[in-house]
Amino acid sequence: MNSSAGRSPSIFQRLPLPIALLIGFIMLPFGVVLLPLVPEVAIPTLLISTRLLGRKFEWARRFNGWVDQKWQAVRTRLKGDPASARPALWRWIVGAIVIVLLWQIVGSILTVFTVISAGLTLEEFLPSGGFGATPVSPDRAALILFAILLSFVPFFAGNLIAYRYILKANVARLFSQAGRFSLRRVMFGFSVWLLLGLIGVFFIEIANPGVVQWVFDPVGALPYVLVALLLIPIQTTAEELFFRGWILQWSDNGKRRRSVLAAVNGVIFALPHLANPEVAGEDLIRIAGYVAVGYVWAWVTLRDQTMELAIGAHAANNISAAILVGYVGSAIPSVSLWTMERIPVEQEILLGVFCAIAFAWITGRAGAGSPAVKDEPKTSAVSR
């Protein structure tokens, strides 16, 4: 493309035209051949070739103009639009990196320190096949749970720090973009999800008699229950702040469909859970249950423009697995009333889908939507 007035010619324009065209025609097919094999080499090759060929051919100039337009759009997103309240793209990217590093590095340091200080063995902390298959004493279970959940404290703090100091936004908007945050709605989401889960367990026991067994022993259970009730809400809220808060607000530009945003969010939410023992090996298909749950929590968050219901539901899900109905292959030890053996994979996925659909329907029919949502137009902007 011709240089603008006042700018020195680029290297592509300083080359003699015959040489520029010769190099361009050599590099073009070379880049096309390499594109499916080594795209990181092919793409720069193609871009250079079209710059050279653009000195003579209109099709190359049109392509170069399209590339320039797209690149300018990316630069604008990275720098941010001064006329928009939405933070610049680079702030979302840097913030996400900071949050994950705090979670994985600082959190891991806290966990390792706790494991060593408590004298836990590797076999105790990371049992083959997950927890539930081999009984764990309540005092050791409390220590293991504490070590696991402690890593989520910097994860929780990282979301707040990044939102306030990297996005430079009001932290209250991370929790809710539809007015005042309501603990009543959190408890509503908690209660509905807990009830749905217990109903699901009831039908699983009917379908598989004896799969759910009473195992509770109150002796020594109090420390575990206290750790669970104190730290599990921090763990689940930290995950909600990142997946239904940071990630969902980042991806929601006000133009994408709610179902698409929720589906993508459900997949992203499921990815870290691939490390869970219950989805290892041939049981990988069980991850579909996580996708369904992540989908509905994102869907109701977008519907109401607030995370209250998702925060409550996630806390109910994990607390019930810890102290109500534990299961074999769990990622955490449980000191629960009942323990559930592994069930057929289709039943587990069906349970997740049932809970997801019923949760969305009940919370919608019950008028759980925040009054602020009805009064305010939907917006993806993050207030500064």
pLDDT in tens, 253-309: 888 899 999 999 999 999 999 888 888 766 778 899 999 999 999 999 999 999 999
Across the chain, what does the average pLDDT equal? 88
**Do 107 and 255 lie in a common domain?**
yes
DSSP annotation of 255: S
Q: Is residue 149 part of a domain?
A: yes
Domain end residue (candidates: 51, 79, 107): 79
How many C-beta atoms surround the C-beta of residue 37 within 10 A? 8
**Do 136 and 185 lie in a common domain?**
yes
* Of 356 and 82, the one with more pLDDT: 356
Enclosing domain of residue 51? 11-79
**Do 55 and 136 lie in a common domain?**
no
User: pTM score, two decimals?
Assistant: 0.80
Q: Is residue 380 part of a domain?
A: no
Q: Is 160 exposed, middle or buried (0-12, 13-18, 19+ CB in 10 A)?
A: middle
Q: Is residue 206 part of a domain?
A: yes
Which residue is listed with tokens 């955490």? 332
How many Å separate Cα 90 from the centre of its chain?
18
Domain end residue (candidates: 50, 79, 108): 79
H/E run at residue 117: helix 107-118
Tell me what pLDDT residue 375 has: 41
- Report pLDDT digits (tens) over 284-295: 788 999 999 999
Q: Is residue 288 part of a domain?
A: yes
**Helix, strand or coil, per DSSP, at residue 295:** helix
Contact 303, 369 (CB under 8 A): yes
- Residue 65: C-alpha distances to residues 31, 47, 58, 112, 355 (Å): 19, 11, 10, 53, 50
